[in-house]
Amino acid sequence: MSAIILDSSLVHYEALGRGRPILFLHDWLGSWRYWVPTMVDMASSNRAYAPDFWGFGDSDKVVPRYSVNGYASQVELFMDQMGIDNIPIVGHGLGAVIAVTFARQHPERVSQIMMVNMPISSEHIARPLSTFGGGDNPAKAILGRKLKSYEEVDMEDAKTDGKAVMLSVRSMPDLTDTLFELEIPLLFVYGKDDPLIRMPEEDLWEDLDENVHSYFFENVQHYPMLEQTSKFNRLLRDFLMHKDNWGQYQVKDEWKRRMR
């Protein structure tokens, strides 16, 4: 287990591989652990980092920092400590919200973002996540029978401070304007059957600039990186490789053909 002290508080993280750094940010439900299959896949060409946010996994429980802005500050401190100037980010749920928020605050430090099952506003967070009132083991309480069970999530869920979930959900900003402001390559990824996060309305896709793209996993819920791991990993690799011409790459339908 690796850990560092950021602003007088312990932050647990794991790192795999060698090469260009890439940062994985976890969701409200879970920790760094469910990124392991993707981190292992990326390790041959990248140095993959996955920290636990404060209040999650093995990081310290520090209630005053349980907010989107507090976690964006944690990302900044983490990158500074690791000596990383600029990095692609893969964020899931809360992690995607934090990635976009951090990129808005520090656009020079983020090269591209894959946003997995990200709510663009509080209105896109469905019950019971939006109404969670704290308590023990939030993943067990929230997921219930709504989602498939995954060992990578179940192993860590009891470590989560329920207040970290509740307070960070309450701090959820509206990211609509931010999506228009960012000029880096952005890729929305959604499991179309996710009962916790609602996808943006269809007219949003028509208005967004050419740097913003989307991909939808059929018959997938909240964890596409676990439900269709190989396909998710190939999508990520291609997005990293073709970030500057992803639109043209999709138009050719080359990626979809490879997935059949």
Q: Where are the alpha helices (DSSP H) in the chain?
A: 36-42, 68-82, 94-105, 138-143, 151-154, 162-170, 176-181, 202-207, 224-227, 229-241, 246-251, 254-259
Amino acid at 49: Y
Neighbours of 129 (CB within 10 A): 24
Query: pLDDT category, 146, cuts 50, 70, 90?
Result: low
pTM for this one? 0.93
Note the pLDDT tens digit of each residue in 88-135: 999 999 999 999 999 999 999 999 999 999 999 999 998 888 888 877
* CATH number attached to the domain at 2-259: 3.40.50.1820
Which has the closest alpha carbon to 61: 90, 99, 93, 31?
Answer: 31
Q: Please determine, for residue 166, whether its predicted confidence score (pLDDT) is greater than 80.
A: yes
Contact present, 7 and 78 (Cβ < 8 Å)? no
The model's pLDDT over 186-242, given as tens digits with 9 standing for 90+, comes to: 999 999 999 999 999 888 877 778 888 889 999 999 999 999 999 999 999 999 987
